[in-house]
Amino acid sequence: MNRTAIITGASRGLGRTVAEFLAAQGYGLVITARGEEDLQAAARSLRRHGGQVIALAGDVTDRDHRRRLAAAARELGRLDILFNNASTLGATPLPPLAGYPLGELEEAFRVNVSAPLALIQETLPLLEESGGMIVNISSDAARGGYPGWGGYGLTKAALDLASLTLANELSGRWVGVVSVDPGDLRTRMHQDAFPGEDISDRPLPEVTLPFWAWLFSQPPAAVTGRRYQAQADRWEVNAPVLEEVAV
200 falls within a domain:
yes
Q: What is the pLDDT of residues 76-107, one digit of tens each?
A: 999 999 999 999 999 999 999 999 999 999 99
> How far apart, in Å, are the Cα atoms of 64 and each of 4, 44, 53, 68?
21, 25, 20, 6
Averaged pLDDT in 10-residue chunks for the chain of 247 residues: 93 95 98 96 96 97 98 97 96 94 98 98 98 96 92 97 97 94 70 64 86 97 95 74 43
**173 SS3 class:** coil
Sign of CA dihedral 175, 154, 122, 137: negative
CB atoms within 10 A of CB 43: 20
Q: How many helices (H) and strands (E) does the chain have?
A: 10, 8
Could you give phi then psi for residue 246, rounded to 5 degrees? Answer: -75, 135
| From 27, 100, 146, 152, the catalytic residue | 152
Query: Does residue 244 lie in a domain region?
Result: no
Domains identified in the chain, total number: 1
216, amino acid identity = F
Query: Is residue 246 in a domain?
Result: no
CATH number where 48 lies: 3.40.50.720
The domain in which residue 166 lies consists of: 4-238
- Catalytic annotation on 152? yes
Quick check: is 163 in a domain? yes
167 lies in some domain: yes
Residue 203 counted as domain residue: yes
Q: What is the pLDDT of residues 191-215, one digit of tens each?
A: 565 666 666 776 788 999 999 999 9
Which whole-number Å values give the CA distances from 113 to 26, 44, 46, 118, 228, in the listed order?
A: 30, 30, 28, 9, 18
In a domain, 224, yes or no: yes
